[in-house]
């Protein structure tokens, strides 16, 4: 699979997805290692600081100098006050062969537009590899209320997503369990499916608590 993705990255940006335990992180690390071993420049980013650390990167807000901006218009105003920082950023993007963004599900459509703006206003000529599962954690919302709770504007809702023309690759085989029936049920639960047969199987796994002596 690594060789297939590397071949696709030679001609296209890539969105790597799949449920938990299918090997997204392992495969991403393997691709990063391949680029570095071939003396290519890789920038590794995460939607949060924690997700960035797992791959040895930094948060995308820190790298792209987004500050506290919520959208493209706020970012343009901020940029007038940070021209020196932007000059260094453009140099890094100019030298970048592969830009990796992990936990893409937590990136909002506005932030995706801001990322695209940064790439367009630099001399970025590399490829973008984004990784994550949109069935997992959604973008962080500044204002949480009932009417907006399920109204998340994900990265794929942005025009930037369409402009960047990602090739979608979904990993389907679990690397963490040999129990295929259990894994298939978890995969169906992941997309919101639940029926009587699934309920019966889950119920059969229940273990009554054992009272301590």
- The answer to whether residues 105 and 204 belong to one domain is no
- The answer to whether residues 38 and 125 belong to one domain is yes
- The answer to whether residues 156 and 196 belong to one domain is no
Q: Provide the number of structural domains found in the chain.
A: 2
Band (41; pLDDT cuts 50, 70, 90): very high
| pLDDT value for 137 | 82
Q: E strands of 35-165, at which residues?
A: 42-46, 58-59, 98-102, 127-131
CA distance 101 to 171: 17
- The answer to whether residues 147 and 187 belong to one domain is no
Please tell me which residue, 54 or 23, carries the higher pLDDT value.
Answer: 23
- The answer to whether residues 206 and 103 belong to one domain is no
Question: Residue 187: helix, strand or coil by DSSP?
Answer: helix
Task: Quickly count helices (H) and strands (E) in the chain.
Answer: 10, 6
CA distance 149 to 67: 25
Q: What is the CATH number of the domain that holds 83?
A: 3.40.50.300
Chain mean pLDDT for the chain = 87
With a CB cutoff of 8 Å and minimum separation 6, the contacts of 164 are: 13, 116, 128
- The answer to whether residues 100 and 205 belong to one domain is no
| pLDDT value for 54 | 81
- Mean pLDDT over 33-40 rounds to 98
Band (138; pLDDT cuts 50, 70, 90): confident
Band (145; pLDDT cuts 50, 70, 90): very low
Cross-strand bridge partners of residue 14 = 129, 167
| pLDDT value for 19 | 87
**Domain residues for 124?**
2-176
- Mean pLDDT over 113-122 rounds to 95
The length of the chain is 213
| pLDDT value for 48 | 85
Sheet holding 166-171, edge to edge: 58-59, 42-46, 98-102, 127-131, 13-18, 166-171
What would the pLDDT profile of 64-115 be if each residue is shown by its tens digit? 999 989 888 899 899 999 988 999 999 999 999 999 999 999 999 999 999 9
| pLDDT value for 72 | 82
What would the pLDDT profile of 148-174 be if each residue is shown by its tens digit? 444 458 999 999 999 999 999 999 887
Q: Could you tell me if 17 and 191 are in contact, meaning their C-beta atoms sit under 8 angstroms apart? A: no
- The answer to whether residues 48 and 105 belong to one domain is yes
| pLDDT value for 89 | 96
Band (36; pLDDT cuts 50, 70, 90): very high
- The pTM of the full predicted model, rounded to 2 decimals, is 0.82
């Amino acid at each position: 699979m690594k060789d297939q993705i590397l071949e696709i990255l030679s001609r296209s940006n890539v969105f790597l997805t799949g449920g938990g335990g299918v090997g997204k992180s392992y495969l991403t690390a393997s691709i990063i290692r391949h680029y570095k071993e071939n003396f290519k420049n890789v920038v590794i980013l995460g939607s949060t600081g924690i997700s960035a650390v797992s791959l040895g990167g930094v948060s995308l807000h820190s790298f792209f100098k987004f500050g506290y901006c919520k959208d493209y218009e706020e970012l343009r105003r901020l940029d007038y006050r940070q021209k020196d920082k932007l000059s260094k950023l453009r140099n890094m993007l100019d030298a970048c062969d592969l830009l990796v963004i992990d936990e893409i599900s937590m990136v909002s459509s506005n932030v995706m537009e801001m990322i695209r703006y940064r790439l367009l206003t630099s001399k970025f000529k590399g490829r973008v590899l984004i990784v994550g599962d949109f069935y997992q954690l959604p973008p962080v919302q500044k204002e949480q209320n009932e009417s907006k709770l399920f109204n998340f504007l994900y990265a794929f809702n942005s025009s930037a997503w369409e402009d960047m023309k990602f090739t979608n690759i979904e990993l389907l085989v679990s690397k963490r369990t040999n129990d295929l029936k259990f894994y298939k049920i978890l995969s169906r639960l992941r997309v919101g499916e639940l029926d009587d047969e699934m309920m019966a199987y889950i119920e059969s796994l229940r273990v009554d608590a054992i009272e301590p002596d």
